[in-house]
Amino acid sequence: MTMKITSIHTTPVLAPLPRPVRTASGTIGQFPLVLIDVHTDSDVVGRAYAQVYLPELLPALQHAVSNLADMATGLPLAPRDIHAHLLRRCRLFGMKGLLGVALGGLDMALWDAWARARAEPLARALGAELRPIKAYHSVGLYDAKEVVAIAQETLAAGFAGLKIKAGFPTFAEDLAAIRAAKQALGHAAALMIDYNQSLSFAEAMARCKALDDEGLAWIEEPILADDLEGCARIAEAITTPIQMGENFHGPSEMRTAIAARASDLVMPDPQFIHGVTGWLEASALARTAGLPMSSHTFVEASAQLLCATPTADWIEVMDAAGGLRHAPLQIKDGMLLPWDTPGIGLEWREDMIARYRA
């Protein structure tokens, strides 16, 4: 007999971070999250979270998750069917922005419950086996002096790569930080940079061309992510791989970007891509196109999903929920070891949730 969803609870929190994440467009001091708990009539509870970068938008995200949850409560725990049901219900409005984010977080919690009901890690329940995933340390914007300590910390923690933000007012500042990080990392770890869509097309083309001989693993989102033509022109003009994907709102946008040849690599966000259901479709697109596929944040779900991704590349480690979670991350020899526990491995620390509840 299929279990049913009896209730879905949401909790807004401002999650603690080891250090603020500075970007070219602002600083994230705490991560605004909506924790999602899916309760069933078999006492199985699925857990996940949705995130939004601005605390001012946290109440709106919580309402969006709760409203979608109301549409799913009482239904059998069949994540694909619920996903299709919610898409149909919201077809007139669309599934982008906060509503798409809410769908992604809720979908992850439903799949977590589904895997827990089978007493298996999500990857194994999806037909894959757990395996180590190449991991990189993802941090903010640091100048040439500050970045050396970040690089040393990255090596000490055992990561295989480091991603730093770029987008200083001048290219000279970008270049100085990149070279300082490269020198500190040596040959022990790869270096990626992320512009977070901060450059104009002309400036991006100039900076990316100037960085072509710096040995970067990739340059991420130099211009607006929806300027697919511009992204494609930059990708064609330089040899350093262009990375994008965290702003794909659902698999259809990833399909369009691939058709436009907008990047050499893809890295969907499990939330924005519409959860586990959307990720599985996206991974099939990446396989067909032959594109290496990495993850954006959501390290718990990403670790499981990358195990089931044919072209899996890197896992990003920016641990938004780490301060609220019982189990620590396991990094060894440059690889993240997915948790061999039912679902995606999230067990909340209730004391920390009470402390950081918004």
The catalytic site residues sit at 165, 296
Q: Go through the chain and tell me how many residues it has.
A: 358
Closest listed residue to residue 84, CA positions, set 64, 52, 110, 63: 110
Which residues, in sequence order, are CB contacts of 229 under 8 Å at separation 6+?
A: 260
Distances from the Cα of 279 to the Cαs of 59, 81, 229, 251, 351, in angstroms?
Answer: 26, 15, 24, 7, 32
Burial of 331 (0-12, 13-18, 19+ CB in 10 A): middle
Residue 269: closest CA among 80, 104, 102: 104
- Output the CA torsion sign for 93, 68, 107, 60: positive
How far is Cα 133 from Cα 306, in angstroms, rounded to an integer?
7
CB 142 within 8 A of CB 150: yes
- Tokens representing 220 are 């991420």
What phi and psi values does residue 15 have, to the nearest 5 degrees? -75, 140
- Enter the DSSP assignment of 25: T
Task: Please state, in angstroms and rounded to a whole number, the distance separating the CA atoms of residues 313 and 303.
Answer: 11
Separation between Cα atoms, residue 324 and residue 354, nearest integer Å: 10
Q: What's the per-residue H, E or C state across 322-343?
A: HHHECCCCCEECEEECCCCCCE
166: left (phi over 0), alpha (psi -120 to 50) or beta: beta
Q: Are the C-beta atoms of residues 114 and 72 closer than 8 Å to each other?
A: no
Nearest to 111 by CA among 121, 102, 101: 121
